[in-house]
Amino acid sequence: MPGQHYDMPMTSVYAQRRARLAAQLGDGGVAIIPTAPELHRNRDTEYLYRHDSYFYYLTGFSEPNACLVLTSDGKSVLFCQPKDLEREVWTGYRLGPEAAKTKLGMAQAFSSDEINSRLPRLLENRERVWFPFATHKGLAEQVEGWLGQVRARSRFGVLCPTQQGDACALLDEMRLLKDEHEQDIMRRAAQISAQAHVRAMQRSARMIRNGEEVREYHLDAELLHEFRQHGSQYVAYGSIVAAGANACVLHYQADKAPVRAGELVLIDAGCELDGYASDITRTFPADGKFSGAQRALYELVLASQEAAIAVTRAGKRFNDPHEATVAVLAQGMLDLGLLERTKYGTAEDVIESRAYFQFYMHRTGHWLGMDVHDCGSYVEPSELGVVSERKDPISGETIANRPSRILRPGMVTTIEPGIYVRPAPGVPEQFHNIGIRIEDDAIVTETGCELITRGVPVKPDEIEALMRD
């Protein structure tokens, strides 16, 4: 698991982050950041444990039953599992409080069994307590209980915090900009995931050429093999392996449907490496050869992605890639006959009426980082007060528009246009049940963006060549 091997250069990365957060807590501020709980899968077994992202971002520590307390003067206190040689025989090595102080660079460390007795003392004479709102079930009630113990000592001259703040608001802004350490991990995660997609593409074509039965789970197995083969600890999310019409289901999960020659396969999958996610989608012909209709739709989606990539750079807005995508898709839907010109008019009319939504119903990107849908506001903080209203032409709902985020170097976003054609009146039959999405991960730079997932090709000729290999 990530975080079980500690060295001083890595420890300094987390210490620097804690110092940055401490500086934002205000005079007399204190932050409480717990990790994720263990969860039962069934009667007596747990899900594979995965730490809380906020906690790991500040500590690099991946054990369960832990909590970080950070004060505005930069003092870090860790509560963690105590050493227990008998339990370690069953559940594995524990760092323990004594080692945690030096290995993790903490001022103090205590057993997690002591948190209810010690934490109220850490809150005494503080002005504001910060913790992640609406993130950990029961945490708000715990904080109230600890504050109650502080109030009970008021007759001894103890002051109780009178303000509470959402630690997510501070940490989201920090996590939105990835430093070089984070970018390097994400590049390596992207490389592993790209090779996994290559394996899946090649196995699909190879099995079909050999006359073997291919199922979605065969291709999912290739993904998982490659992830673990190269040291990834987890999948970043449940892999989507969707054959044929299943590709028109946006969050379809890898299952047992047959993969047939002549159909497309959409795979949306990425590994998590050392706490950071990758996220790649590729769509390819199961047997390695696009049909005419498949290629026409694929080239449209690829052109829309290229338009989005061209406007992904520092100084642009987060919404700009989406708008560039929609402009290309709207024109292409008219050109290919998915939308009738006599009914829907020009591409501008299609965008205004959102008629394209029938075939493209999601955004073109999202933040990527420790979580596959990473934290960070999509609204520009300096322009929160700039609000305009519009009426959605489909739902009729009034929507408040605020200026979208200005892109800055170090932000990481996905670029993932798609098109999904379900059978419907007026839709040309040759396009029925075709679902296509192309997704890459992009690090924003001053002059453009660095696509870190192009270890797996996107051009149709290159995909066909790869699958012949």
The answer to whether residue 2 is domain-embedded is no
State pTM to two decimals: 0.94
Same domain, 230 and 289: yes
Last residue of a domain, one of 154, 175, 196: 175
Residues 261 and 147 in one domain: no
Residue of 167, 115, 172, 181 lying closest to 136 (CA atoms): 167
The CATH number of residue 219's host domain is 3.90.230.10
Q: Are residues 266 and 119 in the same domain?
A: no
Do 272 and 322 share a domain, yes or no?
yes
pLDDT of residue 1: 44
Q: Residues 431, 345: one domain?
A: yes
Domain boundary among 145, 175, 205: 175
Give the pLDDT score at 265.
98
- pLDDT, residue 11, reads 74
Residue 3 forms part of a structural domain: no
Q: How many residues does the chain have?
A: 469
Of 260, 262, 259, 258, nearest to 289 (Cα)?
A: 262
Flag whether 71 is in a domain.
Answer: yes
Q: What is the pLDDT along the chain (469 residues), one digit of tens a residue?
A: 444 555 555 679 999 999 999 999 999 999 999 999 999 999 989 999 999 999 999 999 999 999 999 999 999 999 999 999 999 999 999 999 999 999 999 999 999 999 999 999 999 999 999 999 999 999 999 999 999 999 999 999 999 999 999 999 999 999 999 999 999 999 999 999 999 999 999 999 999 999 999 999 999 999 999 999 999 999 999 999 999 999 999 999 989 999 999 999 999 999 999 999 999 999 999 999 999 999 999 999 999 999 999 999 999 999 999 999 999 999 999 999 999 999 999 999 999 999 999 999 999 999 999 999 999 999 999 998 999 988 888 888 998 889 999 999 999 999 999 999 999 999 999 999 999 999 999 999 999 999 999 999 999 999 999 999 7
Please state, in angstroms and rounded to a whole number, the distance separating the CA atoms of residues 367 and 447.
19
Pair 324, 223 in one domain? yes
Kindly report the CATH number assigned to the domain that includes residue 82. 3.40.350.10
Tell me, yes or no, whether 5 lies in a domain.
no
Same domain, 360 and 223: yes
Whether 134 and 182 share a structural domain: no
Question: Which residues share a beta bridge with 280?
Answer: 269
Q: Considering the domain boundaries, does residue 7 fall inside one? A: no
- Considering the domain architecture, whether residues 57 and 44 belong to the same structural domain is answered as yes
Copy the structure tokens of residue 189. 């995660």
**Are 342 and 301 members of one domain?**
yes
Instruction: Please identify, among 123, 150, 175, the residue that sits at the C-terminal boundary of a domain.
Output: 175
* C-beta separation of 230 from 275 below 8 A: no
Residue 262 structural domain: 177-468
Residue 269 and residue 326 in one domain = yes
153 and 19 in a common domain: yes
For residue 461, tell me if it sits in a domain: yes
User: Whole-angstrom Cα distance, residue 332 to residue 347?
Assistant: 9
4, part of any domain: no
Residue 270 lies in a domain: yes
What is the pLDDT, as a whole number, of residue 2?
44
Q: Assign 3-class secondary structure to the chain.
A: CCCCCCCHHHHHHHHHHHHHHHCCCCCCEEEEEECCCCCECCCCCECCCCCCHHHHHHHCCCCCCCEEEEECCCCEEEEECCCCHHHHHHHCCCCHHHHHHHHCCCCEEEEHHHHHHHHHHHHCCCCEEEECCCCCCCHHHHHHHHHHHHHCCHHHCCCCCCEEEEHHHHHHHHHHCCCHHHHHHHHHHHHHHHHHHHHHHHHHHHHHHCCCCCEHHHHHHHHHHHHHHCCCCEECCCCEEEEHHHHHCCCCCCCCCECCCCCEEEEEECEEECCEECCEEEEEECCCCCCHHHHHHHHHHHHHHHHHHHCCCCCCECHHHHHHHHHHHHHHHHHHCCCCHHHHCCHHHHHHHCHHHHCCCCCCCCECCCCCCCCCCCECHHHCCCCEEEECCCCCCEEEECCECECCCCCEEEECCEEEECCCCCCCHHHCCEEEECEEEEEECCCCEEECCCCCCCCHHHHHHHHHC
Catalytic residues: 44, 251, 268, 279, 362, 366, 373, 416, 420, 437, 439
The number of domains in the chain is 2
pLDDT at 10: 66
